[in-house]
Amino acid sequence: MNRRSNLRTALVLASIALAFFVGVIVNHWLIRQ
């Protein structure tokens, strides 16, 4: 695999992790409201 492909894969994984993290925070915030 070339470096650009690895960078793209890392970016996709980071985006998924960030979306999951934000979703969990929003979920907890809505429960506390």
Read off the pLDDT band of 15 (50, 70, 90).
very high
**C-alpha span between 20 and 30 (Å, rounded):** 15
Measured CA to CA, the distance from residue 26 to residue 10 in angstroms comes to 24
The CA radius of gyration of the chain, in Å to the nearest whole number, is 14
- Decide if pLDDT at 13 tops 90: yes
Neighbours of 20 (CB within 10 A): 10
Model pTM? Answer: 0.66
21 pLDDT higher than 80: yes
Residue entry with tokens 């506390």: 32
Please state, in angstroms and rounded to a whole number, the distance separating the CA atoms of residues 14 and 27: 20
